[in-house]
Structures are given as C-alpha cells and as structure tokens.
Structure 1
C-alpha cells in the first residue's frame, strides 16, 4: 500500500492540484481502510477489474527523476527526428531511457507508433508507452492515452480493452486536453470485451467534445443518430451534426486540404450522411482532382460517367489512367468498348485494357476476355478470350468462371465440354455469382455435365432468382411449363415466373410466354395477378431501354384474352430482334393459330426470321409460299411487286421459279428476283445466284452466281453463306479459296444452317478443300443431323456402320441414324441400309428388311439401288453379260406391280448367295 504522492507547483502541477482533492481523498481512504489495489478508483459497474500485471501503471507516486535536466537532449532528439535522422535520435533517447527518464520512453514510443523515419511497429511502441506509464512523470496522461489507443486498434499491439478503459480514465483525470474523452466515448458507445456499453456516458462525452469543436465527436454523433447507429435513429439530429462536420471540412478544403475535399465528397455519396446531392459530391471530387489527388481524379471520372456526363468522365479517367491508376484503365477500357453515352472507341479501349492486364488487373482480363469471346465490340479472338478468362478464373473471379461455364456449354468458340463447364460453374456459384448459379441450376435440370438432380436444379434457380437473374425466371418457368419435363407440371407457376422475367426485360421469356398464350398452352382470361398494375414496366428499368419495350408488351387491359396478350408479347419480342418470336408469329398467321389467318403477315414475319438467321424459318417460309399459291393469292402478290414492294418482288420471283400459285416461268422468276436483288434483298440475290450456278432459266454463269451470293452474304443471308462457302471450298465454278469457304460454312452452320453443317462435315470426311478430319466430320454431320438433315444423317450413318474415311466404326449408332433417315423416306439411307442388311458384314443379316429398303430406294429412283437390283436379277439368271437395260425394264415391271409381291419377289431373288455376291460393294448414301 502506498501513500498519495504530491507534485511541485509547476503549471502542470497546478492541474494536478485541482484534481487532487478527490483523488487524494480516495487514495487516503483506501490507505486507511486497508490495502486497495491501484486503479480501483477508476473501476465502474460493467467494467472488469484491472488485471494485476497492470496495477503499477496506476501507482500514485511522485516523479523520481528531474526530467528538466535532460530537456536539451530530448530537444536534440526531436530535432533529429524532424531532420529525418531517426536512428541517431533513437540512440540519444535510449541513452536517456537507460536512466529511466519517462519522456524518453514516451518519445521512443511515438517514433515506433507513428513510423517516423522507420517502419511502424505498434507492439514495440506499446512496450515503450508501458515503460512511460509505469514510471511516474508529468507525461503520464499522454502516454496513457497513446497506450490506450494502441490497446484498442488491433493493429499489431495486444488488444486490451479493459486496460484501455483504465488508461483513458487516467488520461482524463490528467486533463491533457487531447481527444481522450472522444476515445473513451467510442469505447463505451458499443462496449468491448470486459467493458460494458454505456451509451449515456458515451453521449455525454461526445457532446462535451462536440461543444468544444472536436470534429471526430461531431462526426461520431452524426453516425450515432443515423439509421443503424448506436442511438435511437433521429435523422434530423444526424443531419444537423453532419452539416456541422461538413462546415469544418469546407473550411479546411478552402485552405487546400485535399483530404477534406475527399471527405466532403464521401459525405454527399449515395450512402453518405448527407446523401442526395450528387452535384456537391461531384464538385468536391473535382476540386480534389484539380488539387492533385490521383484517387479523386478516378472517382470524379466514375461519378461523371454514372451521372451521364460521359465525355467529361472519360477525360478524367484518361488522366487517372495516364497517372498509373489500374482501375481507371480498366473502367476506361470498358466504357470505350461499350460506347455508353459516347462514340465507342474499340482500339483505344483495347489499348487501355492491355495496359491494365500488364499491371495484373483481373477485371481487365475479364472485360477484354469477354469482348474477344463475343466478337461484338472487337474482332473475335476466341482462343485468347478463353485464355484471359481462365487467367482471371485462377484468381477466383466469379464472372470469369460464369463466362467460361457458358462458353464450354455453347459449342460456339470451343467444343462443348459440359463436365468442364460444370466445374467452372460450381466454383462461380460458391463465390456467389448469380449467372453461374443460374447456369448450374439449368445443368442439374438437364443432366448436362452432372448427374441429373431436378431438386437441386430447382433450388439453384430459385437462388439465382432471388439474386435478380431474369434468365433463371425464364428457365424455371419453361421447366414448369413442360408436361414431360424434369419438374412437376405447374402451368400457373410457370406463367408467374415467365411474366416476372418479361417485366425484367427478358426477350426470350416474352417469346415463350407469348407462344404459350397464342397456342393455348396457357388459356383463359388474364387473372388479377397479370393485370397492368403487375405486368407494367419494371420500375428499376431506365425509360426508353430495350427492356422497357419488351416489358411494355406485358401490359394489357384487364379482361383481354391471353391469346391477344400473347400476340402483343411476341410482336414486342420480335421488334427487339428475337428471331424465334418472328417464326412463332409467322406460323401463327400461316395456320390461323390464335390470330386470323393472314399469309401476307406470315410471309413478312418468316422472311424477317430467315434474314435473322433462324434455322427453321426457311422451311416455314416455303410452306407459307405454297399456302399462298394454293390460296390463289398470286394476283395480290403481283400487284404488290409491281407497286415496288421489294419483299413482294422476291416472293413473286420465287413463286415463278417454283411454280407455286402460278405457272412455272423461269424467265419471269429471274426478272423479278433480279429487280429485288438490285434493291438489296438478300433472299432474292441468293435465289438468283443459285439459278446462275445451276443454269436454271438463265445461261449458266458461276462467276455471276458467286457475285450474287456475295451480295446475299453481305446482307446476312445464312443460306447464301452455305452456298458460297461450298463453292469456295472446292473451287466449284469459282477460284478456290478453301479458308474463306470454310469460314463462311462455319458461320452459316453456327447460325443453324443444316446444309452448311452437312457440307462441312462431308468436306472433313472426304478431305475436300480441307484436311481430312474424322472428328470434325462427325461433329458437323451430327449437328446437321440433329438439325433435321436426312442427307447428313444418311452420310454419317453409313460412315459409322462401315468405319469409312478413318471414322471409328460404330455399327449400332450408324444403324440408328440410317434407320431414322430411311424411315423418313431418304432414298440414299434406304439404299445403304438395304445393302448392309443383305450383305450382313457390318450389321446383322436380314434379307427381307434389306430387300424392302432396297426396293423403297429404287422406287424413289435411287440409281445405285436400281442398278444393284438389276445386277442381282441378271446374276440370278446367269446373264451377267446381258443388256442391263432389259434388267431395268424387268425391275420397273416388278416395282409397278403389287408391292407385297414385289417385296416377296426381291426377297426370293436376294436369298441366293451368288446373287448377293453380285451386289456392289458400296452404295451412294447421299442420293
């Protein structure tokens, strides 16, 4: 137990004397009453007792050393620090510390605390401050405050909130006139380990400091009264204190304080205490930028962009980027790519993105990778795009993972690899990217790359929906609409989800919902939940955007039928460029589904769909043209063409060419097609080009045909790409250009043209114009087959059955493909399948089936099948050297008779081994 100590009557001693009556009386009472531990005079309800190892920090002793004797040395040390000679200052101070001079400990603590000329070391600073507090001196209050701050910061020094509380009490008792009250208020506002929150005392301390003009206290009170603060929310008080704080900042900013300028900008930010004044925020950011703050330059640039002042924003971002701001480089590259609010400058954009990538920017890799993958803003470089995204994915960038998943599913720039896609998407989902979650959910519904798990797929899609993914709304809605789909059939829930997707601007959802209404999948009157109040534009969408137009189609007057609503949805989606919506409308007008039959409207929509590259548009248009001719509407078409309607000219030319609705007249066909082609109609140019290639109604002129196909290709006609690509690939009628031919065929095939896919597959199979590549051949022929090409199916099936052209033999799959094509009437497939069943080399022998298929092929005029049967007949009758024409006459007689008798006759004929041996080794599957 120690007696209270007294201090000499210096200026600071006078402060001690004023505080002494209470402190001394407490200490004397403790001394008289027993041995009370030092520091207990500061203990408060809700605060843990002071740990024993710190009690000597609070001993009330007189200073032992006359520090004034060392003032010169201390001053020299301070001057050395100011001059940047910190090491020399430390040596001097350590000499004094060895003599137990508290001010030396304190100054050493400040050096390590503030990192003056050396690397800051909070732990070492705390140790020196402890020595300064432990040794009685007039620096006690300052050392206590500094040690308390370090004990609360958790920045390298031990975290000791209880000790900090007692130190702050000691600093406050010393009345050092710094921010000890504010630090104590901050501790008590929410409390800490061993220190219970005391909001009332914290409020009192903050108010006292605020009244004395302490800016930290003023800001703390503004935050305390704000929503989410530790006091009851009082927006008016919060704003009042925030305005007081801003006033002080403005004074400092007026004197050129850049930090004050940036703080003012933050106050006026969207989540700042004075939110709602973007102009002020931008003003202070601009001021900071002009004053030379590089961070403010970039921030001001971004603010300019966000507020619609694109050119000013780009100017500031360019300045920041030139100053080496990597984030500014990336943002600048992105905005110049997108051209949002200004002219796109893709070359400049790429330069900035490349520079950011050189500085190891992950965001720049993602931005440039996407652009090179999509090939819209920049020329496509898919392989580099993939590489950049993969580099970003290695940094766990969630968007890169989502984009890679999409790329490995799309089969456009890289071969489809669902398993790899699923791995990327799983990681992207784990990192919280909603697009990855959406795609992963779709995979679990379909079982692509993962084991089918509809329940998990549904959960993931719901999660993506909660994160705002309209695509997930559409995918789940479509799944609920499929009666034989992976999820239970829920038409009303499907309708609700698709409607929400439409409101969010999803054009594909508008098409699917419109189709369901129009075709009757969803029937009846619009219910209350689909009223204009709930199907109007999404309030988060900006007026005038594409999504706005689609969502506007979702609105309709209460009581209108779903059919009418569906038509409006489809029309809006089609106007936004959705090719499938055009096809649905075209078919609906052709067939009178949900709308009055109108073949002119049907033709218009289907022509637009064909020009947009939809794979099913051409066949639907052909049927529509046939229907128009059968309906006797040719005169209306002629009148429209004569009035100068270019679409009608093209239609009329095709009608004359095909003899649909009018007598076939190739001269008239070429005349109308040429008029339409001269006016830039790509379909007419393509049709006329084919006529010149085939010499159909015009003198054969491959060069002119190729020239017309070029015009059609320039107009975006996918079929013309396929025709011209095939010519250039092999030099058929034009100078060969295999690389361009392959590229055109690939573009057409990627757009869904099955003929282009078949041509590519056949070229890779036989090595015509390209190096033979069995894998590519199989890929393209499979795509054409899946798109409905019977010729591709027959070619691929024959090659797989026989293992032709180095293609791995797969008789089972080949038989399935041939059977599918043959049963749909493809003569070449019938001939090949018949031959294989008869010979029994690659497929199990079945002479009856073989004879039947061969007869079907021969009846369709398949030349190889006819000759094979004729040769078999001659061999069976020992007439191998007889006139083949006589055998063909016999064959025609058999085929013209009873089909059952014909089948039996051929079956009997082909049962003989010698006859079978006379069959040709191969038959043309493509006939």
Structure 2
C-alpha cells in the first residue's frame, strides 16, 4: 500500500508540520503501533500508486494564510448566493481566492458543483476543489471529499477513482464527520479502475456508519445482502437493514418529507427490498400524491389500476396528466379508450392521447393510431391512423412496425401491399417484436411479399413461439399438418403445437385441432392429453334456437353404435368450445359434421343451427352448406317438425320453412307460403330470410317482380351481416336494374363480399372492371377479382378471364397460354359459355392455332347444354355448307331442334357426323364471325 505521506495527530488535533517530519522508519513504526489516524485500521491493498501530478494534494503542511482575515468577504459572498446574486458572489470569491485562500476556492467549487443560481459545471467545480486541496486549510477534508465524489461520478468531471481513493483517505483523517466513510465503502464494495474491491473493509465502513444512524449506509447494507448484492445472499439480514432504513424514512415522512414517502413506496414495490406488502406501497404513494408529488400521483394511479381499482386509478392519473405527466396521459388515454374496469370514454381518451402526442409521445401515437385504424372505440380515420403509426415506426417503435405490417397485409383499411408489409415486419423483427416475427414467418411460409423460404419461416415461427406468440404455435402447427405443404409433414409435432395454442386460449387453434381430430387427420397423434377442452361442453342441439319441443331429425342408425374414440370426442368438444366463442369456421365444421355424421351421430337440426349461426356470422361457405343441409332435412321427412317450430315463433325455423316452400324441399313448392314465412323471419331481423326474399322480388321468382322492395330487403340483410346479400345488392346498385343506380356503393358492397370470400361477388366485380360497367374499366382490378373467383372454382369467372386473356382486349394484356388454360379448364368442367368461346377461338384461328374439328366439338358440347349462340352457329354453319346460307335464324334453329330435341345418342352422333363434313367445317368460321 503506498501513501504519499503518513500523518498523525496529537491529542490537541494539531498536524505535524514539515519542520518536524517523521522519518520513514518512525512513521512506519507509528503506523504499525496502532497510533495511525482514524480510518488507517482499514487501509486497503490493491490500489494503484498516486499519479505524480496529484502529489501536492497531500503535502502534509499545516494551514497557512490566516483565513479569518477574510471572513467578512466570505460571509458577504454567502449572503449574495442566498439572495440569488450568484454572479456578484463569484466576483467576491474570486477576489479572495486571488490571495490564495482555500476557503474561497472551496466556495467557488460548491457554486459550480451544486449549480447555485447558475448552470452546474462539474469540471469547473473540480478545478476549484483542486485549488482548495493544494493549500492546507481547515476545509481540506471537505474539499477532498467533494473532489472525490466528483472524481467518481463520471458526469462532467474527469473520472479518477485512484485519486478519489486517496482523497477519501485524507477526508477520513481530517475527521470531518460527513459521509466520507460511506463514499469510501461504496468505492471498495465493487472496486473501480485502479482500485481493487475490498468487501471486508467496505462492510466494516458501512457498519460503522450504519451504527451511527447513517441512512445511506443502512440502505447499502440491505442491498448488499439482497440477491445480486456484493455480499453473500442473506435475505434475513437484508430485510433487517431495510426495516431500519424504512424506520428512518417513516420519521421523515411523518414530518412531511415527500421524497421519503416515495422512497418508502419503492421499498414495498414488487422488486423492492420489502416486497410483499402492496397495501403499504399504495399507502405511501397515496400519501406522496396528497402531499403534491406529481410523480407519486401517477404511480399511485398505476398501482390502483393494477389492484383493480380502476375508477380511483383513473382519477389519480387524471390529476398527474393535468400537471403535464406524459406517461399519465398515455396510460389514461389507453384506459379510457378500452374501458378496462370502468366506463369507456373514447373522446376523453383521444383528448389525452392528442395532448401526449403534442408532447412528442411515441406510445400515444401507437395507441391512437391503432384506435383510428380499427374504428371500434373511435370513428375510423385510417389515413390519420397510418400516419401516426408511421411516425412511431420512424422512431423505431417495434409495435408500430408490427401493426403496420398487419395493416398492409389485411386489405381491410387500405389495399394490401405485401412487399411494404414485409419491410415493416423485417424492421419490427430486428427490433425484437414477437408479433412482427410471427407475421414475418408466415409471409416466408406463404411466399407473400417475399420469396418463399420455408426454412427461414420455420426459424422465425420457432423464435416467435419462444417469445410467447400463441399465433405462431397455430401457424406452425397448421403447416406441419399439411401433407403437401412447404414444411415436412409432422402430425405429432402439429398436434403438440396446436394443443399448446389451445391451452393459451387460441380459438382458431381449437378449431383446427378439433377438425383434425374429428376428421381423422390426427388419428394416430400423440398429443391429445395436451388439448384443453371443456369437461362438459354444451351440445349444439342444446344451444340451438329450436324450440325444446321440436324433435331433431336423426337418420336411422344401427342399434349397436361403434364406440367413439377419445380423439373424435375431443374434436367435437374443441369445436363446440370454439363455436360458442364465436369462431364462424368452427360453426361450419360442426354443421357439416352433424349433417354428414362425421365423428358424431347425424343430427340435421343441430347441423342447421350451427350453419345458420355461421351464415349470420358471415362465413362465406355457410350458405352453400346450409342449402345442402336443408335438402337433407326435406329428404329425411322432418318438415312437420320445422313447421311446428316456425309456428311457435322460432325465427330460424321460419326462415328454413320459407326456403323449403320456395325450393319445394320436403314439401310442395308454394311461393305464397314461401314469401309469407320469409317475410315474417325478415321482419324479426333474420338476415338470411331477408336475403332470400329480396332475391325473389328481384327475379320475380314466385312473386311480382319489385326491384325496389327487393333492394330494401337486401339492405336489411346486409345490415344484419349477410355476406351473400352484399353481393346481390352490390350488383343491383352497380347496374341500377330497376332501382336508382349507386355505382360507388355497389362497388363497395361487392368488394366487401368478395374480400369475405364470396366468389360470385368477385366474379361480378371483375366483369364490371372488365367491361367498365358502373366503374372505370381497369384491367388490373378485373384480373385481380376474376382470378380470385376463378381460383375459388367459379367457372364463369374462369371463362371470362380466359377469353379476355386470349384476345388481349378489355384492358388486359394478351396472354394466350394462360387464357387457353383457363378456358379449357372451365370448358372441360362443363361450362357452356367456356365451351362456346373456346370453340369460336379454335374455329377462327386468330389467337389459337385453328382446329376446326376441336372447335366444332366444343361448340357442340355448348349447344347440347342449350347455349343459344352455339346452337345458332352450328345450325347456320351446317345449312350454309348445304347451300342454304340464306336460311333465317328461325329456320336454322328449327332444323337444330329437330336433330337435338330427341336427346338421343343417335341424334347427337348424327349431328357430329354432319359437322365433321369438310364443307361444314369450312363454313364454320364465317358462321362464327356472323354470330360474334
């Protein structure tokens, strides 16, 4: 251990002067003999030597320059500082300091150190303290301590832990009675550059200070014995010291010390030294809040919220927000927006969020941006919402990036832009947001907006799972269930992941897992025990809107039913759980299962109920499944049960009965009864009944055609959420067929229905954009919607798109190969229009290589289905080939009807043989041109 000088004190406290220096040996003997200065018993090892430039800080001389002569000037400077005249005080002190008076340097250092009336400047303060230390005086110890503190703070002044150590030794020798021992202990507890840690000396110094009532030392010991402290973990000792520290704080708090109140609250926080007493924490926060601490008001508000006292929490947060607390504004805005535990006040919420945004809050931008996008709590303002989110994203807010990625993928508020979405999600993932990681993984799985990369998709989804994203469990589980999907088929892993998602409350995962169990896709899996399902779920039949007196339609089954496997039963329970929670697809799966007897006993009443609910929820496949179920009910002879239920006032049964009368399913067709029952159901708010009756009035199907009344009924159905009605009403408003046209509203309805998966709406919208009917012709939009309908199996859309692509007209660039593929696909599946168009193209030979025989074949197929243009072209071509080219339309069709009306194989073969004649084939193109 190296010290610049050893110094001791006489009983009178006088320092040895340089006139009477100790020899080195004498000093060492004095040191070892136990007569060293206070603190020397704790001398540390492992401290670097004092740098040479600081040697004069420790010269050991006695004080000189009698400072008492300048007491008046020093007192005057102190009074000037107290009066706020710091600049004048500095001038007074500098005049005294010019005479080499350490006290003047010391007071100047304090002014710059504490920022008394001026901007604090630690570096300048350190310089003045150094001047004070260089000349021995009675303030040497104080100046040494202050300079040591600045040398350890790393906030403006040079960081010099070795110098700080020697300065602290000097302050301790001076016995100034401040916190020099505590500061030394804090330095030695963990060490610093050039100062090795000395836990034992630090402990002794802290204990010595704590025993004299030093609060900082008491707190330091509580922290040292706590988990993660620099002493061996001793929770009991830590708590004892923390209690002692709290006693001192309570005494101060009782005297009105607000800081002591907030410190007490922190001690009782979840991560505090006295954790486990929430009431005490809330008590002291409330005390501090009442004493006027705005920070405590906000903290108390948050504590109230977390403890379930939402109204009190909101009131405290409001008080804090009024004082300018931005965090309180953010939290209050979110609370009032969501109404978590209290009445939602969205407009007030928006006001607070706007104020926080004015204070440049990123969090408030994200909260308000999402609310304006969703349009639930507040009126939708998509553009403003996106702008706020983009502002937050530009500040690298990961949540904003994740939400923007979702927005540009959903195609709900703005047109989907997968490439832009991928960019946002990539940045959100890099910033560590798990939802961004999940969505990005899904994009790479689907190859949407990015090149498909199953390996990276799998890694990203696994990463999102580790971060707690339930959706990633479901996405990856579903991917592993696909036998021909982008990832390897892993049914056991799929079951494990989906089961975990169900445990976490993911309703869609429950639906997918339940469907897999019910249909046998996971018959041999290993993870059944992990799926969380209700022990006694409500059965679909029990939850049906049918009257309790109405019997279900059950088909005869063998007397000995095969035992239902545990997985099938689990599937039914999972699907029931998901359906009761509002999952429309689960309703469809259950409805189909009860209709077909898949994994459950066949029950057409339960099937109808679930499919009705799915239709009302807007699932696109529900209507078709429901129509088939209704046909099955009629075949099963359950019409009387349906009539009884309808008469008892069951609105679903009224709608079912009306459709049964309309279609003649299970009962004689009766349009009057159909319209009566559908009218009753529609008046009671049944969207499906309103849609069905509206179509009848539009088409004049069994009732007098009344487009205006049909439109009103369709509007009722749309208001009730009926997806199919959107398509019908949209087409009507687009064309104005019998009603006032509203092309823009019609386009919106068609687009909504198409986005919900209605292929007829997509076809209608695509054809409108193709022909410019009610909208501006737009090839890109036409191709988009016709492609969607085509991919969904709509043959008319496939035919229209294929024809347009082959010809390269109606705003579409010519793509003969794709057009031929689409048209051939539709024609081979029996679409008469596709057969006629393909036949024309083969016969003309303008876009496709001419093949008159193939063209005639397709045209013949179309004619056999009654396609008017195809029939006429065939007839005229044959008659022209036989010298009767002047035969009129009626004569040609009479001839064709004579050949085809018998519908016998012989008649058809005769017609084909006639058309195979070279002369007839040669006349075909001209006939086609005449009819195009």
- SS of residue paired to 1:649: helix
- CA distance in 1: counterparts of 2:467 and 2:50, whole angstroms: 49
| 8 A Cα contact 2:533 2:577, kept in partner | no
Equivalent residue for 2:74?
A: 74
Cα 1:842/1:42, change in 2 over 3 Å: same
Cα 1:884/1:731, change in 2 over 3 Å: closer
TM-aligned CA deviation for residue 536 of structure 1: 7.5
Equivalent residue for 1:718?
A: 723
Equivalent residue for 1:609?
A: 614
Is the aligned partner of 1:60 residue 2:75?
no
TM-aligned CA deviation for residue 283 of structure 1: 2.2
- CA distance in 1: counterparts of 2:591 and 2:30, whole angstroms: 104
Cα 1:517/1:70, change in 2 over 3 Å: same
- CA distance in 1: counterparts of 2:108 and 2:302, whole angstroms: 44
| 8 A Cα contact 2:777 2:811, kept in partner | no
- SS of residue paired to 1:919: helix
Cα 1:668/1:167, change in 2 over 3 Å: same
Match of 1:29 among 27, 30, 42: 27
TM-aligned CA deviation for residue 876 of structure 1: 2.6
| 8 A Cα contact 2:876 2:887, kept in partner | no
Cα 1:875/1:71, change in 2 over 3 Å: farther
| 8 A Cα contact 1:4 1:28, kept in partner | no
- CA distance in 2: counterparts of 1:703 and 1:415, whole angstroms: 32
- SS of residue paired to 2:928: coil
Equivalent residue for 1:643?
A: 648
- CA distance in 1: counterparts of 2:750 and 2:21, whole angstroms: 95
- CA distance in 1: counterparts of 2:659 and 2:732, whole angstroms: 22
TM-score, normalised relative to structure 1: 0.91
**Equivalent residue runs for 1:278-677 within 5 Å:** 278-524=278-524, 530-531=528-529, 535=532, 561-677=566-682
Equivalent residue for 1:102?
A: 102
Equivalent residue for 1:812?
A: 817
Equivalent residue for 2:771?
A: 766
- CA distance in 1: counterparts of 2:316 and 2:472, whole angstroms: 38
TM-aligned CA deviation for residue 468 of structure 1: 0.5
- CA distance in 2: counterparts of 1:65 and 1:523, whole angstroms: 99
Between 1:867-876 and 1:69-78, the stretch displaced more is 867-876
Unaligned 5+ segments in structure 2 are 32-36, 535-563
| 8 A Cα contact 1:571 1:581, kept in partner | yes
Cα 1:32/1:236, change in 2 over 3 Å: closer
TM-aligned CA deviation for residue 107 of structure 1: 1.3
Equivalent residue for 2:161?
A: 161
1:863-884 CA-partner distances (Å, limit 9, x unpaired): 2222232332333334332132
Cα 1:663/1:188, change in 2 over 3 Å: same
**Equivalent residue runs for 1:204-223 within 5 Å:** 204-223=204-223
| 8 A Cα contact 1:454 1:486, kept in partner | yes
Between 1:580-589 and 1:872-881, the stretch displaced more is 872-881
Cα 1:187/1:16, change in 2 over 3 Å: farther
- CA distance in 2: counterparts of 1:642 and 1:41, whole angstroms: 102
- CA distance in 2: counterparts of 1:274 and 1:922, whole angstroms: 93
Equivalent residue for 1:704?
A: 709
Between 1:498-507 and 1:455-464, the stretch displaced more is 455-464
TM-aligned CA deviation for residue 846 of structure 1: 3.2
TM-aligned CA deviation for residue 567 of structure 1: 0.8
TM-score, normalised relative to structure 2: 0.90
- SS of residue paired to 2:438: helix
TM-aligned CA deviation for residue 147 of structure 1: 1.3
Equivalent residue for 1:875?
A: 880
Is the aligned partner of 1:115 residue 2:119?
no
- CA distance in 2: counterparts of 1:626 and 1:169, whole angstroms: 98
Equivalent residue for 1:782?
A: 787
- CA distance in 2: counterparts of 1:847 and 1:704, whole angstroms: 49
Between 1:224-233 and 1:342-351, the stretch displaced more is 342-351
**Equivalent residue runs for 1:730-749 within 5 Å:** 730-749=735-754
Equivalent residue for 1:852?
A: 857
RMSD: 2.9
| 8 A Cα contact 1:267 1:274, kept in partner | yes
| 8 A Cα contact 2:688 2:717, kept in partner | yes
* Number of matched pairs: 890
Cα 1:684/1:56, change in 2 over 3 Å: same
Cα 1:412/1:203, change in 2 over 3 Å: same
Unaligned 5+ segments in structure 1 are 538-558
TM-aligned CA deviation for residue 922 of structure 1: 7.7
- CA distance in 2: counterparts of 1:712 and 1:60, whole angstroms: 98
Is the aligned partner of 1:791 residue 2:764?
no
Between 1:562-571 and 1:223-232, the stretch displaced more is 223-232
- SS of residue paired to 1:201: helix
1:565-610 CA-partner distances (Å, limit 9, x unpaired): 1111111111111111111111111111111111111111111111
Between 1:425-434 and 1:515-524, the stretch displaced more is 515-524
TM-aligned CA deviation for residue 916 of structure 1: 0.2
Is the aligned partner of 1:915 residue 2:924?
yes
- CA distance in 1: counterparts of 2:853 and 2:123, whole angstroms: 95
- CA distance in 2: counterparts of 1:23 and 1:727, whole angstroms: 112
| 8 A Cα contact 1:362 1:397, kept in partner | yes
Cα 1:319/1:808, change in 2 over 3 Å: farther
| 8 A Cα contact 1:148 1:168, kept in partner | yes
Match of 1:683 among 674, 680, 688: 688
TM-aligned CA deviation for residue 40 of structure 1: 12
Between 1:464-473 and 1:341-350, the stretch displaced more is 341-350
